[in-house]
Chains A and B, each alone.
Chain A
Amino acid sequence: MGASPTVPLPAGAALNAPKLVISGLGKTFRGDRGDVVALKGVDLAIGENEFVSLVGTSGCGKSTLLSIVAGLENHDAGSLAIDGKAIQGPGLDRGVVFQSYTLLPWLTTLGNVEFALLAAGKSRKDARDIARAHLSLVGLDGFADRFPAELSGGMKQRVAIARALSYRPNMLLMDEPFGALDALTRHHMQELLARIWEQHRLTVLFVTHDVEEAVYMSDRVAVMSNRPGRIKSIIPIDLPRPRTYDMTGSPEFARLQREVLSEIRAESIAIAALGDALT
Protein backbone atom coordinates (compact mmCIF):
# COMPACT_ATOMS: atom_id res chain seq x y z
CA MET A 1 0.00 0.00 0.00
CA GLY A 2 2.89 2.31 0.81
CA ALA A 3 4.13 2.19 -2.78
CA SER A 4 1.27 4.17 -4.27
CA PRO A 5 -0.03 6.66 -1.77
CA THR A 6 -3.55 6.94 -3.05
CA VAL A 7 -5.13 9.77 -1.18
CA PRO A 8 -8.89 9.57 -0.86
CA LEU A 9 -10.29 12.75 -2.36
CA PRO A 10 -13.01 14.53 -0.52
CA ALA A 11 -16.57 13.85 -1.54
CA GLY A 12 -19.51 16.16 -1.89
CA ALA A 13 -18.61 19.77 -1.20
CA ALA A 14 -15.10 19.29 -2.36
CA LEU A 15 -15.20 18.54 -6.03
CA ASN A 16 -12.62 21.31 -6.17
CA ALA A 17 -8.91 20.65 -6.28
CA PRO A 18 -7.56 19.51 -2.92
CA LYS A 19 -6.09 22.32 -0.92
CA LEU A 20 -4.13 20.25 1.54
CA VAL A 21 -2.79 16.81 0.78
CA ILE A 22 -1.22 14.68 3.49
CA SER A 23 0.17 11.29 2.58
CA GLY A 24 1.92 8.63 4.56
CA LEU A 25 2.70 11.15 7.28
CA GLY A 26 4.63 9.84 10.29
CA LYS A 27 5.93 11.48 13.43
CA THR A 28 7.94 10.02 16.29
CA PHE A 29 8.82 12.00 19.40
CA ARG A 30 12.25 11.01 20.63
CA GLY A 31 12.69 11.43 24.34
CA ASP A 32 14.89 10.35 27.22
CA ARG A 33 12.27 7.87 28.33
CA GLY A 34 11.93 6.21 24.95
CA ASP A 35 10.26 7.14 21.71
CA VAL A 36 6.60 7.91 21.18
CA VAL A 37 5.22 7.10 17.77
CA ALA A 38 2.52 9.74 17.57
CA LEU A 39 1.50 9.45 13.91
CA LYS A 40 1.98 6.67 11.39
CA GLY A 41 0.73 6.58 7.82
CA VAL A 42 -1.68 9.51 7.96
CA ASP A 43 -3.46 10.03 4.63
CA LEU A 44 -5.86 12.93 4.29
CA ALA A 45 -6.85 15.39 1.61
CA ILE A 46 -8.90 18.48 2.24
CA GLY A 47 -10.61 20.34 -0.57
CA GLU A 48 -10.51 24.05 -1.17
CA ASN A 49 -12.95 25.77 1.22
CA GLU A 50 -13.85 22.54 2.88
CA PHE A 51 -14.52 22.26 6.60
CA VAL A 52 -12.99 19.06 7.99
CA SER A 53 -13.05 17.99 11.61
CA LEU A 54 -10.50 15.70 13.15
CA VAL A 55 -11.82 13.59 16.00
CA GLY A 56 -10.22 10.87 18.07
CA THR A 57 -9.42 9.76 21.58
CA SER A 58 -7.19 11.88 23.73
CA GLY A 59 -3.51 11.39 22.96
CA CYS A 60 -4.11 9.90 19.50
CA GLY A 61 -2.09 12.61 17.79
CA LYS A 62 -4.66 15.23 16.73
CA SER A 63 -2.69 18.17 18.05
CA THR A 64 0.50 16.77 16.64
CA LEU A 65 -1.06 16.48 13.19
CA LEU A 66 -2.41 20.02 13.39
CA SER A 67 0.95 21.37 14.54
CA ILE A 68 2.67 19.70 11.62
CA VAL A 69 0.19 21.25 9.19
CA ALA A 70 0.75 24.60 10.93
CA GLY A 71 4.48 24.12 10.39
CA LEU A 72 5.19 24.32 14.12
CA GLU A 73 6.37 20.75 14.32
CA ASN A 74 8.36 18.72 11.81
CA HIS A 75 7.56 15.22 10.58
CA ASP A 76 9.79 12.31 9.83
CA ALA A 77 7.93 10.31 7.22
CA GLY A 78 5.60 10.97 4.33
CA SER A 79 4.73 14.33 2.88
CA LEU A 80 2.26 17.15 3.07
CA ALA A 81 1.57 19.96 0.67
CA ILE A 82 -0.69 22.96 0.33
CA ASP A 83 -1.65 23.89 -3.22
CA GLY A 84 0.94 21.36 -4.36
CA LYS A 85 3.76 23.01 -2.44
CA ALA A 86 5.43 21.15 0.41
CA ILE A 87 4.94 22.79 3.79
CA GLN A 88 8.15 24.37 5.06
CA GLY A 89 7.52 25.81 8.48
CA PRO A 90 4.75 28.16 9.57
CA GLY A 91 3.25 30.74 7.27
CA LEU A 92 0.73 33.54 7.02
CA ASP A 93 -1.27 31.44 4.57
CA ARG A 94 -2.44 29.45 7.61
CA GLY A 95 -4.17 31.00 10.60
CA VAL A 96 -3.99 29.05 13.85
CA VAL A 97 -6.38 29.18 16.81
CA PHE A 98 -5.03 27.51 19.93
CA GLN A 99 -7.16 26.06 22.70
CA SER A 100 -5.40 28.29 25.23
CA TYR A 101 -6.64 31.54 23.59
CA THR A 102 -3.08 32.94 23.49
CA LEU A 103 -4.19 36.55 23.72
CA LEU A 104 -1.27 38.75 24.74
CA PRO A 105 -2.38 40.13 28.11
CA TRP A 106 -0.65 43.52 27.75
CA LEU A 107 -2.56 44.35 24.58
CA THR A 108 -6.22 45.27 24.26
CA THR A 109 -8.49 43.17 22.08
CA LEU A 110 -7.94 45.63 19.26
CA GLY A 111 -4.20 45.58 19.99
CA ASN A 112 -4.14 41.81 19.81
CA VAL A 113 -5.69 41.74 16.35
CA GLU A 114 -3.50 44.63 15.21
CA PHE A 115 -0.45 42.74 16.47
CA ALA A 116 -1.05 40.02 13.90
CA LEU A 117 -1.77 42.49 11.12
CA LEU A 118 1.38 44.51 11.82
CA ALA A 119 3.39 41.28 11.84
CA ALA A 120 1.82 40.51 8.48
CA GLY A 121 3.19 43.80 7.15
CA LYS A 122 0.09 46.00 7.17
CA SER A 123 0.41 49.74 7.78
CA ARG A 124 -0.73 51.08 11.15
CA LYS A 125 -3.83 52.60 9.69
CA ASP A 126 -4.82 49.54 7.67
CA ALA A 127 -4.15 47.36 10.68
CA ARG A 128 -6.49 49.45 12.81
CA ASP A 129 -9.30 49.42 10.23
CA ILE A 130 -9.02 45.72 9.48
CA ALA A 131 -8.81 44.87 13.18
CA ARG A 132 -11.97 46.83 13.91
CA ALA A 133 -13.79 45.12 11.06
CA HIS A 134 -12.82 41.70 12.36
CA LEU A 135 -13.78 42.45 15.94
CA SER A 136 -17.14 43.41 14.60
CA LEU A 137 -17.28 40.17 12.61
CA VAL A 138 -17.14 38.23 15.89
CA GLY A 139 -19.54 40.62 17.59
CA LEU A 140 -17.04 42.40 19.83
CA ASP A 141 -17.50 45.96 18.53
CA GLY A 142 -17.84 47.43 21.97
CA PHE A 143 -14.86 45.62 23.45
CA ALA A 144 -12.00 47.06 21.39
CA ASP A 145 -10.20 48.66 24.33
CA ARG A 146 -10.71 45.89 26.86
CA PHE A 147 -7.80 43.84 28.10
CA PRO A 148 -7.92 40.02 27.96
CA ALA A 149 -8.17 39.89 31.76
CA GLU A 150 -11.57 41.57 31.43
CA LEU A 151 -13.00 39.05 28.95
CA SER A 152 -14.80 35.75 29.41
CA GLY A 153 -13.38 32.60 27.83
CA GLY A 154 -15.80 32.77 24.93
CA MET A 155 -14.92 36.40 24.22
CA LYS A 156 -11.22 35.64 24.34
CA GLN A 157 -11.62 32.88 21.82
CA ARG A 158 -13.66 35.17 19.56
CA VAL A 159 -10.77 37.65 19.62
CA ALA A 160 -8.40 34.82 18.78
CA ILE A 161 -10.61 33.82 15.84
CA ALA A 162 -10.81 37.45 14.68
CA ARG A 163 -7.03 37.64 14.91
CA ALA A 164 -6.49 34.42 12.95
CA LEU A 165 -8.88 35.52 10.22
CA SER A 166 -7.72 39.14 10.05
CA TYR A 167 -4.67 38.66 7.87
CA ARG A 168 -6.66 36.57 5.38
CA PRO A 169 -5.05 33.17 5.56
CA ASN A 170 -6.64 30.74 3.15
CA MET A 171 -6.57 27.99 5.69
CA LEU A 172 -7.69 28.00 9.31
CA LEU A 173 -6.30 25.47 11.77
CA MET A 174 -8.11 25.13 15.08
CA ASP A 175 -7.10 22.89 17.96
CA GLU A 176 -10.07 22.26 20.24
CA PRO A 177 -10.85 25.97 20.19
CA PHE A 178 -13.99 25.61 22.29
CA GLY A 179 -12.76 22.79 24.51
CA ALA A 180 -12.38 24.98 27.59
CA LEU A 181 -15.79 26.65 27.33
CA ASP A 182 -19.00 25.73 29.10
CA ALA A 183 -21.62 23.89 27.07
CA LEU A 184 -23.89 26.87 26.34
CA THR A 185 -21.08 29.21 25.35
CA ARG A 186 -19.66 26.43 23.21
CA HIS A 187 -22.93 26.16 21.30
CA HIS A 188 -22.98 29.91 20.66
CA MET A 189 -19.42 29.79 19.43
CA GLN A 190 -20.22 26.89 17.09
CA GLU A 191 -23.10 28.80 15.58
CA LEU A 192 -20.99 31.93 15.21
CA LEU A 193 -18.10 30.07 13.58
CA ALA A 194 -20.46 28.18 11.25
CA ARG A 195 -22.06 31.45 10.17
CA ILE A 196 -18.71 33.17 9.60
CA TRP A 197 -17.47 30.18 7.64
CA GLU A 198 -20.58 29.96 5.50
CA GLN A 199 -20.21 33.64 4.58
CA HIS A 200 -16.42 33.84 4.16
CA ARG A 201 -15.51 30.39 2.91
CA LEU A 202 -12.03 29.16 3.63
CA THR A 203 -10.42 25.79 4.23
CA VAL A 204 -10.68 24.69 7.86
CA LEU A 205 -9.05 21.85 9.75
CA PHE A 206 -10.81 21.65 13.08
CA VAL A 207 -9.68 19.40 15.93
CA THR A 208 -12.25 18.46 18.52
CA HIS A 209 -13.21 15.59 20.75
CA ASP A 210 -16.85 16.67 20.77
CA VAL A 211 -18.72 14.50 18.26
CA GLU A 212 -21.80 16.73 18.12
CA GLU A 213 -19.60 19.73 17.42
CA ALA A 214 -17.76 17.88 14.66
CA VAL A 215 -21.00 16.86 12.93
CA TYR A 216 -22.56 20.29 13.31
CA MET A 217 -19.62 22.19 11.85
CA SER A 218 -18.16 19.94 9.19
CA ASP A 219 -18.41 18.88 5.59
CA ARG A 220 -16.53 15.75 6.55
CA VAL A 221 -15.40 14.23 9.80
CA ALA A 222 -12.09 12.37 9.90
CA VAL A 223 -11.82 9.83 12.71
CA MET A 224 -8.36 8.97 13.95
CA SER A 225 -7.23 5.66 15.42
CA ASN A 226 -5.51 5.37 18.74
CA ARG A 227 -1.80 6.10 18.87
CA PRO A 228 0.04 5.79 16.54
CA GLY A 229 -2.62 7.94 14.94
CA ARG A 230 -3.81 7.49 11.38
CA ILE A 231 -7.05 8.37 9.64
CA LYS A 232 -9.30 5.44 10.40
CA SER A 233 -12.37 6.55 8.49
CA ILE A 234 -13.90 9.61 6.90
CA ILE A 235 -17.59 10.35 7.28
CA PRO A 236 -19.20 12.86 4.90
CA ILE A 237 -21.75 15.09 6.56
CA ASP A 238 -24.32 15.94 3.95
CA LEU A 239 -26.53 18.10 6.07
CA PRO A 240 -27.71 21.22 4.26
CA ARG A 241 -26.13 24.63 4.72
CA PRO A 242 -26.56 26.98 6.38
CA ARG A 243 -26.49 24.82 9.46
CA THR A 244 -28.95 25.83 12.12
CA TYR A 245 -29.19 24.72 15.66
CA ASP A 246 -32.56 23.07 15.00
CA MET A 247 -30.79 20.52 12.84
CA THR A 248 -29.14 18.97 15.85
CA GLY A 249 -32.53 17.50 16.69
CA SER A 250 -33.08 15.91 13.29
CA PRO A 251 -32.94 12.12 12.81
CA GLU A 252 -30.28 12.57 10.15
CA PHE A 253 -28.09 14.49 12.57
CA ALA A 254 -28.56 11.80 15.20
CA ARG A 255 -27.67 9.11 12.69
CA LEU A 256 -24.45 10.87 11.66
CA GLN A 257 -23.54 11.50 15.25
CA ARG A 258 -24.01 7.81 16.05
CA GLU A 259 -21.94 6.84 13.06
CA VAL A 260 -18.99 9.00 14.13
CA LEU A 261 -19.38 7.94 17.72
CA SER A 262 -19.34 4.25 16.92
CA GLU A 263 -16.08 4.75 15.02
CA ILE A 264 -14.45 6.40 18.02
CA ARG A 265 -16.04 4.19 20.61
CA ALA A 266 -14.08 1.14 19.58
CA GLU A 267 -10.86 3.13 19.95
CA SER A 268 -11.96 4.64 23.21
CA ILE A 269 -12.82 1.30 24.81
CA ALA A 270 -9.46 -0.06 23.72
CA ILE A 271 -7.52 2.54 25.70
CA ALA A 272 -9.90 3.01 28.62
CA ALA A 273 -8.57 -0.06 30.47
CA LEU A 274 -12.12 -1.22 30.98
CA GLY A 275 -11.28 -4.84 30.32
CA ASP A 276 -14.50 -6.73 29.72
CA ALA A 277 -16.57 -4.38 31.83
CA LEU A 278 -18.54 -3.06 28.86
CA THR A 279 -18.89 -6.23 26.82
Chain B
Amino acid sequence: MPGEKQEQSAPPAFSSGMFSLTATVSGRRFITIAILVFLVLGLLWWGVAKTGLVTPLFLPSPEMVIARLQELAASGKLVDDLIISVYRISLGFLISTIFALPIGILIGSYRAWEAAIEPLVDFIRYMPVVAFVPLTILWTGTGDAQKFLIIFIGTFFQQVLLVMDNVKSVPRDFINLGRTLQMPEWRILMRIILPSAMPAIWDSMRISLGWAWTWLVVAELVAATSGLGYRITTAQRFFQTDTIFGYLLLLGVLGLTTDQAMKWGHRRLFRYLRVQR
Protein backbone atom coordinates (compact mmCIF):
# COMPACT_ATOMS: atom_id res chain seq x y z
CA MET B 1 0.00 0.00 0.00
CA PRO B 2 1.29 3.47 -0.78
CA GLY B 3 0.12 4.89 2.57
CA GLU B 4 2.33 2.50 4.48
CA LYS B 5 5.46 3.53 2.66
CA GLN B 6 5.02 7.14 3.71
CA GLU B 7 4.86 6.31 7.42
CA GLN B 8 8.25 4.65 7.25
CA SER B 9 9.90 7.77 5.86
CA ALA B 10 13.30 8.86 7.16
CA PRO B 11 13.52 10.65 10.51
CA PRO B 12 13.31 14.42 10.28
CA ALA B 13 16.50 16.13 9.21
CA PHE B 14 17.06 18.09 12.43
CA SER B 15 17.98 15.04 14.51
CA SER B 16 21.57 14.39 13.58
CA GLY B 17 22.30 11.46 15.89
CA MET B 18 24.59 11.08 18.86
CA PHE B 19 26.76 14.07 18.02
CA SER B 20 24.15 16.80 17.99
CA LEU B 21 24.33 19.37 20.78
CA THR B 22 21.25 18.26 22.68
CA ALA B 23 21.40 14.54 21.97
CA THR B 24 20.89 12.16 24.88
CA VAL B 25 23.00 9.04 25.33
CA SER B 26 21.67 5.99 27.13
CA GLY B 27 23.47 4.78 30.26
CA ARG B 28 24.69 1.61 28.58
CA ARG B 29 26.03 3.43 25.56
CA PHE B 30 27.74 5.97 27.82
CA ILE B 31 29.65 3.23 29.62
CA THR B 32 30.50 1.53 26.33
CA ILE B 33 32.02 4.71 24.94
CA ALA B 34 33.99 5.29 28.14
CA ILE B 35 35.41 1.75 28.17
CA LEU B 36 36.25 1.98 24.49
CA VAL B 37 38.39 5.06 25.06
CA PHE B 38 40.29 3.27 27.82
CA LEU B 39 40.83 0.26 25.56
CA VAL B 40 42.04 2.35 22.65
CA LEU B 41 44.53 4.24 24.81
CA GLY B 42 45.72 0.98 26.39
CA LEU B 43 46.21 -0.55 22.97
CA LEU B 44 48.09 2.50 21.81
CA TRP B 45 50.40 2.27 24.81
CA TRP B 46 50.95 -1.45 24.18
CA GLY B 47 51.60 -0.84 20.50
CA VAL B 48 54.16 1.93 21.04
CA ALA B 49 55.99 -0.11 23.68
CA LYS B 50 55.96 -3.12 21.34
CA THR B 51 57.74 -1.27 18.53
CA GLY B 52 60.72 -0.78 20.82
CA LEU B 53 61.12 2.80 19.66
CA VAL B 54 61.06 4.03 23.25
CA THR B 55 63.31 2.45 25.83
CA PRO B 56 61.43 0.64 28.65
CA LEU B 57 63.17 2.93 31.11
CA PHE B 58 60.93 5.72 29.79
CA LEU B 59 57.94 3.71 28.70
CA PRO B 60 57.59 0.20 30.10
CA SER B 61 55.14 -2.09 28.33
CA PRO B 62 51.77 -2.94 29.90
CA GLU B 63 52.99 -6.50 30.48
CA MET B 64 55.98 -5.26 32.48
CA VAL B 65 53.75 -3.00 34.59
CA ILE B 66 51.28 -5.78 35.30
CA ALA B 67 54.08 -8.20 36.17
CA ARG B 68 55.60 -5.68 38.54
CA LEU B 69 52.26 -5.03 40.21
CA GLN B 70 51.74 -8.78 40.64
CA GLU B 71 55.17 -9.08 42.19
CA LEU B 72 54.45 -6.21 44.61
CA ALA B 73 51.09 -7.72 45.44
CA ALA B 74 52.62 -11.15 46.10
CA SER B 75 55.19 -9.69 48.48
CA GLY B 76 52.43 -7.88 50.38
CA LYS B 77 53.96 -4.47 49.72
CA LEU B 78 51.12 -3.32 47.52
CA VAL B 79 48.47 -4.02 50.14
CA ASP B 80 50.55 -2.39 52.86
CA ASP B 81 51.02 0.72 50.74
CA LEU B 82 47.31 0.82 49.95
CA ILE B 83 46.19 0.38 53.53
CA ILE B 84 48.42 3.08 54.94
CA SER B 85 47.55 5.56 52.18
CA VAL B 86 43.83 4.91 52.40
CA TYR B 87 44.06 5.29 56.16
CA ARG B 88 45.82 8.62 55.77
CA ILE B 89 43.44 10.06 53.22
CA SER B 90 40.36 8.85 55.10
CA LEU B 91 41.38 10.43 58.36
CA GLY B 92 42.87 13.54 56.76
CA PHE B 93 39.78 14.11 54.65
CA LEU B 94 37.47 13.41 57.59
CA ILE B 95 39.22 15.92 59.84
CA SER B 96 39.14 18.54 57.10
CA THR B 97 35.45 17.92 56.39
CA ILE B 98 34.47 17.99 60.06
CA PHE B 99 35.94 21.46 60.36
CA ALA B 100 34.92 22.75 56.95
CA LEU B 101 31.20 21.87 57.15
CA PRO B 102 30.19 23.95 60.19
CA ILE B 103 32.42 26.85 59.21
CA GLY B 104 31.20 26.83 55.60
CA ILE B 105 27.60 26.67 56.76
CA LEU B 106 28.18 29.47 59.25
CA ILE B 107 29.73 31.88 56.77
CA GLY B 108 27.22 30.93 54.09
CA SER B 109 24.34 31.76 56.41
CA TYR B 110 25.59 34.83 58.23
CA ARG B 111 27.05 37.72 56.31
CA ALA B 112 28.93 39.04 59.35
CA TRP B 113 30.73 35.71 59.81
CA GLU B 114 31.49 35.72 56.11
CA ALA B 115 33.18 39.09 56.50
CA ALA B 116 35.22 37.73 59.40
CA ILE B 117 36.33 34.47 57.80
CA GLU B 118 35.96 34.44 54.02
CA PRO B 119 38.77 36.91 53.12
CA LEU B 120 41.14 35.08 55.46
CA VAL B 121 40.30 31.70 53.95
CA ASP B 122 40.68 33.11 50.46
CA PHE B 123 44.07 34.53 51.42
CA ILE B 124 45.39 31.24 52.76
CA ARG B 125 43.84 29.33 49.88
CA TYR B 126 46.19 31.08 47.47
CA MET B 127 49.30 29.96 49.32
CA PRO B 128 50.68 26.93 47.45
CA VAL B 129 50.16 23.82 49.53
CA VAL B 130 53.56 22.37 48.59
CA ALA B 131 55.21 25.38 50.19
CA PHE B 132 53.73 24.23 53.49
CA VAL B 133 55.54 20.88 53.33
CA PRO B 134 58.80 22.05 54.97
CA LEU B 135 56.82 23.89 57.63
CA THR B 136 54.64 20.90 58.43
CA ILE B 137 57.71 18.69 58.73
CA LEU B 138 59.22 21.20 61.15
CA TRP B 139 56.02 21.21 63.15
CA THR B 140 55.06 17.56 63.22
CA GLY B 141 57.94 15.50 61.84
CA THR B 142 57.45 13.04 59.00
CA GLY B 143 54.80 10.81 60.57
CA ASP B 144 51.09 10.45 59.78
CA ALA B 145 50.28 13.74 61.48
CA GLN B 146 52.21 15.56 58.78
CA LYS B 147 50.16 13.80 56.07
CA PHE B 148 46.92 14.76 57.80
CA LEU B 149 48.13 18.32 58.04
CA ILE B 150 49.01 18.57 54.34
CA ILE B 151 45.69 17.02 53.33
CA PHE B 152 43.97 19.40 55.70
CA ILE B 153 45.72 22.49 54.35
CA GLY B 154 45.04 21.36 50.78
CA THR B 155 41.34 20.62 51.18
CA PHE B 156 39.93 22.50 54.17
CA PHE B 157 40.12 26.00 52.73
CA GLN B 158 38.65 24.93 49.40
CA GLN B 159 35.87 23.03 51.14
CA VAL B 160 34.93 26.00 53.29
CA LEU B 161 34.42 28.19 50.23
CA LEU B 162 32.51 25.51 48.32
CA VAL B 163 30.17 24.83 51.24
CA MET B 164 29.64 28.55 51.74
CA ASP B 165 28.50 28.88 48.14
CA ASN B 166 26.26 25.82 48.44
CA VAL B 167 24.55 27.29 51.47
CA LYS B 168 24.22 30.69 49.85
CA SER B 169 22.32 29.27 46.92
CA VAL B 170 19.47 28.05 49.12
CA PRO B 171 16.47 30.02 47.80
CA ARG B 172 15.64 33.07 49.87
CA ASP B 173 11.97 32.05 49.85
CA PHE B 174 12.81 28.79 51.67
CA ILE B 175 14.13 30.86 54.54
CA ASN B 176 11.12 33.15 54.31
CA LEU B 177 8.88 30.10 54.52
CA GLY B 178 10.52 29.16 57.81
CA ARG B 179 10.06 32.72 59.03
CA THR B 180 6.36 32.78 58.18
CA LEU B 181 6.03 29.55 60.18
CA GLN B 182 7.72 31.37 63.06
CA MET B 183 10.51 28.84 63.25
CA PRO B 184 13.47 29.94 65.38
CA GLU B 185 16.60 30.86 63.40
CA TRP B 186 18.59 27.75 64.37
CA ARG B 187 15.67 25.57 63.41
CA ILE B 188 15.47 27.24 60.00
CA LEU B 189 19.18 26.53 59.69
CA MET B 190 18.87 22.87 60.68
CA ARG B 191 15.52 22.00 59.12
CA ILE B 192 15.50 24.09 55.95
CA ILE B 193 18.90 25.48 54.95
CA LEU B 194 20.93 22.37 55.73
CA PRO B 195 18.77 19.74 54.02
CA SER B 196 18.28 22.10 51.11
CA ALA B 197 22.02 22.59 50.59
CA MET B 198 22.92 18.94 51.27
CA PRO B 199 22.94 17.59 47.70
CA ALA B 200 25.26 20.39 46.57
CA ILE B 201 27.45 19.98 49.65
CA TRP B 202 27.77 16.28 48.90
CA ASP B 203 29.00 17.13 45.43
CA SER B 204 31.50 19.60 46.86
CA MET B 205 32.83 16.84 49.10
CA ARG B 206 33.15 14.56 46.11
CA ILE B 207 35.18 17.16 44.21
CA SER B 208 37.41 17.99 47.19
CA LEU B 209 38.06 14.29 47.81
CA GLY B 210 39.72 14.20 44.42
CA TRP B 211 42.06 17.00 45.48
CA ALA B 212 42.78 15.25 48.78
CA TRP B 213 44.28 12.31 46.83
CA THR B 214 46.72 14.70 45.20
CA TRP B 215 47.81 16.20 48.49
CA LEU B 216 48.23 12.81 50.07
CA VAL B 217 50.61 11.68 47.35
CA VAL B 218 52.48 14.99 47.45
CA ALA B 219 53.04 14.55 51.18
CA GLU B 220 54.13 10.95 50.73
CA LEU B 221 56.50 11.80 47.89
CA VAL B 222 58.39 14.33 49.94
CA ALA B 223 58.65 12.69 53.31
CA ALA B 224 57.44 9.24 54.16
CA THR B 225 58.56 5.73 54.90
CA SER B 226 55.42 4.06 53.62
CA GLY B 227 52.44 4.60 51.32
CA LEU B 228 51.79 4.84 47.61
CA GLY B 229 53.72 8.07 47.18
CA TYR B 230 56.69 6.70 49.09
CA ARG B 231 56.84 3.65 46.81
CA ILE B 232 56.88 5.92 43.77
CA THR B 233 59.88 7.89 45.10
CA THR B 234 61.88 4.78 45.90
CA ALA B 235 61.02 3.34 42.49
CA GLN B 236 62.44 6.45 40.87
CA ARG B 237 65.66 6.01 42.83
CA PHE B 238 66.04 2.51 41.37
CA PHE B 239 64.84 3.41 37.87
CA GLN B 240 61.79 1.15 38.25
CA THR B 241 59.60 3.00 35.79
CA ASP B 242 57.19 0.07 35.72
CA THR B 243 56.45 0.52 39.44
CA ILE B 244 55.82 4.22 38.90
CA PHE B 245 53.48 3.47 36.03
CA GLY B 246 51.67 0.79 37.99
CA TYR B 247 51.13 3.03 41.00
CA LEU B 248 50.00 5.96 38.88
CA LEU B 249 47.40 3.71 37.26
CA LEU B 250 46.42 2.45 40.68
CA LEU B 251 45.94 6.01 41.91
CA GLY B 252 43.78 6.72 38.88
CA VAL B 253 41.64 3.68 39.59
CA LEU B 254 41.30 4.61 43.26
CA GLY B 255 40.26 8.15 42.36
CA LEU B 256 37.77 6.97 39.79
CA THR B 257 36.32 4.44 42.21
CA THR B 258 35.83 6.87 45.07
CA ASP B 259 34.33 9.39 42.69
CA GLN B 260 31.86 6.86 41.33
CA ALA B 261 31.04 5.73 44.86
CA MET B 262 30.26 9.30 45.85
CA LYS B 263 28.09 9.75 42.76
CA TRP B 264 26.27 6.54 43.59
CA GLY B 265 25.76 7.81 47.14
CA HIS B 266 24.33 11.03 45.73
CA ARG B 267 21.81 9.14 43.64
CA ARG B 268 20.75 7.06 46.63
CA LEU B 269 20.63 9.80 49.25
CA PHE B 270 18.94 12.41 47.11
CA ARG B 271 16.66 10.19 45.11
CA TYR B 272 13.82 12.68 45.62
CA LEU B 273 15.50 15.08 43.22
CA ARG B 274 14.99 12.86 40.21
CA VAL B 275 12.07 10.57 41.06
CA GLN B 276 9.99 9.72 38.08
CA ARG B 277 6.98 7.47 38.09
Contact = CB atoms under 8 A, between A and B. Distances in A.
B179 A102 contact: no
A116 interface: yes
A92 interface: yes
B177 A147 contact: no
A70 B180 contact: yes
Contacts, number: 67
Interface stretch (B142-150, B260-268, B269-277): B269-277
A106 B195 CA distance: 8
Question: Interface residues of B: mostly helix, strand, loop or mixed?
Answer: helix
Contacts of A100: 171, 173
Interface in B93-121: none
A119 B183 contact: yes
Contact of B174 (A90, A94, A104, A116): A104
Contacts of B171: 100, 102
B182 A90 contact: yes
Given A96-B176, A98-B176, A106-B195, A119 B181 contact: yes
Nearest to A96: B180
Contacts of B233: none
Contacts of B183: 119
Interface string A111-122: 000011001100
Contacts of B179: 71-72, 89-90
Given A100-B171, A104-B174, A104-B192, A150 B181 contact: no
Contacts of B275: 146-147, 149-150
B193 to A, nearest CB: 11
A56 interface: no
A116 B179 CA distance: 11
B272 A106 contact: yes
A242 interface: no
Q: How large is the interface on A (under 10, 10 to 19, 20 to 34, 35 or more residues)?
A: 20 to 34
Interface string A41-77: 0000000000000000000000000000011100000
A91 interface: yes
A100 B277 CA distance: 23
A149 B181 contact: no
Contacts of B192: 104
A102 B174 CA distance: 6
B173 A102 contact: yes
A8 interface: no
Interface string B162-192: 0000000001011011111111000100011
B276 A150 contact: yes
Interface in B118-147: none
Question: Which has the most chain A C-beta neighbours within 10 Å: B177, B182, B196?
Answer: B177
A115 B196 CA distance: 14
Given A90-B182, A106-B195, A119-B181, A149 B274 contact: yes
A19 to B, nearest CB: 17
Interface in A87-143: 89-92, 94-96, 98, 100, 102, 104-106, 115-116, 119-120
Contact of A98 (B177, B270, B274, B276): B177
A96 B198 CA distance: 25
A102 B276 contact: no
Given A70-B180, A92-B182, A149 B174 contact: no
Contacts of B176: 70, 72, 96, 98, 102
A165 B106 CA distance: 33
Nearest to A160: B177
Contact of A105 (B177, B191, B272, B276): B272
Nearest to B272: A147
B173 A98 contact: yes
Nearest to B188: A119
Contacts of A105: 196, 272-273
A104 B182 contact: no
Nearest to B184: A119
B169 to A, nearest CB: 13
A95 B244 CA distance: 65
Interface of A: 70-72, 89-92, 94-96, 98, 100, 102, 104-106, 115-116, 119-120, 146-150, 167
Interface of B: 171, 173-174, 176-183, 187, 191-192, 195-196, 198, 270, 272-277
Those 8 A-B pairs whose CB atoms lie nearest each other, nearest first: A119-B181, A147-B272, A96-B180, A90-B179, A102-B173, A98-B173, A90-B180, A102-B177
